[in-house]
Amino acid sequence: MKKGLGRGLDSMIPVSSSVSEKKEKKQADKQDELKEIEIDVSLIDPNGDQPRKKFDEDELLELSESIKQHGVIEPVILAKRGKRYEMIAGERRWRAAKKAGLKKIPAVIRDYTEKEIMEISLIENIQRQDLNPIEEARAYNTLLKAYNMKQDELAERISKSRTAITNSLRLLKLDERVMKMVEDGMLSEGHARTLLGISDKDIQYETAYKVFDEKLSVRETEKLVKKLAEDKEPDDKKDGMSESEQRAYESYENKIKDYIGSKVSIHAGKNGKGKIEISYYSLEELERISDLILS
């Protein structure tokens, strides 16, 4: 029986020192990637594409107190950027560590592409439930557009259903002011999705504020949106009114609305008569409008 060669090709074929050095360096770099090291907190920069934009100061303070007592238990993940490092995962821990007065923080260095960095940041935040609904929707939107991904592909990569991705992205169709209310925790995702049934941005915002002010449930919000749809006039054009007359009425509505700061509707009747309707959604708003008119 023949004996096996017992030696690999590397031992039989001479390898130049430069090739050998490169191979050793690559292996060493790979080992460094897996090694936990201490990094100066001042050398770390936040990830500009980090999905999470808001960090609760009270939570950071609470975490910083814990870090003072027990240290940073789980290392942050960083990417090398010249002489500095970019945060991939663990920005909350890094911020809290700085608050706690730490000079260094345990870290693991990884060599990821920009796409991988964003995916990891998104997944980490979703798993920790750190993102508000708008931040999550914007992160999905960025991944889809920046990397030409399909919703199915994104759903698979982050272990979400395609329906969840689609419903999340719909929130970006909300009025900017309503999105800000969701970001600030004034409205839940359920409330926000219900308000998508209102196409007029001003009415959507006014309704959102009514929901917040009166602390309406999602079910109550659904009923309110349905009622608004039923009460809505079929169209703004009045029978027998010319386009110039319509523009004149719209101009008056806009002027009064800009002054009052609330929705205004002018209902034209016959012989130049009609009525002006001013909407309000709380007693405080009624008082404000009343003071404006009386002044």
Is residue 91 annotated as a catalytic residue, yes or no?
A: yes
Residue 38 bridge partners (DSSP) = 106
Are 120 and 113 in contact by the 8 Å Cβ rule? The answer is no
**Nearest-angstrom CA–CA distance, 262 and 286:** 10
Selecting among 91, 135, 136, 285, the annotated active-site residue is 91
Residues with a known catalytic role? 91
